[in-house]
Chains A and B, each alone.
Chain A
Amino acid sequence: DAEITQSPRHKITETGRQVTLACHQTWNHNNMFWYRQDLGHGLRLIHYSYGVQDTNKGEVSDGYSVSRSNTEDLPLTLESAASSQTSVYFCASSPGRSEAFFGQGTRLTVV
């Protein structure tokens, strides 16, 4: 069965470190998204991609970057982790104007 997986599920890192969260989907979807979820803020879009070599900034992109070298993967990098980036991160993929499928989420704590 097709799926979307995130790794790691939990991560604790120190302020200033570079961190990369992985997202891998086997749906062959062109559209992939990264969201962060904080209490009281719902799901906020960080970055998104419509296909290989395409990346775009979302509403809360400062301090984050993504790259899309193939259809399956959209890794999210925190260049220099800050305590404000402690959150739950969800990756999603979609064919467009249809159901988006979410990964299990990554709980990131920056200490």
Chain B
Amino acid sequence: GENVEQHPSTLSVQEGDSAVIKCTYSDSASNYFPWYKQELGKRPQLIIDIRSNVGEKKDQRIAVTLNKTAKHFSLHITETQPEDSAVYFCAVEPAGNKLTFGGGTRVLVKP
């Protein structure tokens, strides 16, 4: 089955700095790559996603890049703010529509 590795597991940044989280996957047939944010005590919610026919996607301060050849994709958060503090999960969906998650990254933005 699909294997998704996510790094780092924790990330501490100063407010205003950038944060980058990277995920690698194993199934070359995967074609959908979402990122979810989970605030403390809440459910995961989609923040951005990318499909295999696109190399980069941006939405305000967040962006995702995809390298299908190397089988990795990354989440970039610029100008971090305290409300960006949360756990972020990458996920991969191969052709069989089974969503598999990475282990999560706990991001702490220090004011």
Q: Chain A interface (Cβ within 8 Å of chain B)?
A: 31, 33, 35, 40-45, 48, 50, 56, 58-59, 90, 92, 94, 96-100, 102-105
Bound-state Cα–Cα, A96 to B102, Å: 18
Task: Known contacts A42-B103, A97-B32, A97-B51; decide if A103 and B97 are in contact (CB<8 Å).
Answer: no
Choose from A42, A99, A103 the contact partner of B46 (Cβ within 8 Å).
A99
Q: List 15 A-B contacts (CB under 8 A).
A: A31-B97, A33-B99, A41-B103, A42-B102, A45-B98, A45-B99, A45-B100, A45-B101, A58-B98, A59-B1, A94-B97, A98-B49, A99-B49, A100-B99, A102-B43
B18 interface contact, C-beta 8 A: no
Kindly list 17 other residue pairs between chains A and B, CB separation below 8 angstroms, not including A41-B103, A97-B32, A103-B43. A33-B98, A33-B99, A35-B101, A40-B103, A42-B103, A44-B101, A45-B99, A45-B100, A50-B97, A90-B43, A96-B93, A97-B31, A100-B46, A100-B91, A100-B99, A102-B45, A105-B43
A94 adjacent to B99 (CB under 8 Å) = yes
Bound-state Cα–Cα, A59 to B31, Å: 20
Q: Size range of the interface on B?
A: 20 to 34
Q: Ordered nearest first, which 5 A-B pairs have the shortest CB separation?
A: A102-B43, A42-B103, A96-B97, A43-B101, A97-B32
Chain B residues with CB under 8 A of A97: 31-32, 51, 93, 97
Bound-state Cα–Cα, A44 to B51, Å: 22
Chain A residues with CB under 8 A of B1: 59
Task: Known contacts A97-B31, A97-B32, A102-B45; decide if A48 and B104 are in contact (CB<8 Å).
Answer: no
Chain A residues with CB under 8 A of B103: 40-42
B98 adjacent to A100 (CB under 8 Å) = no
Chain B residues with CB under 8 A of A50: 97
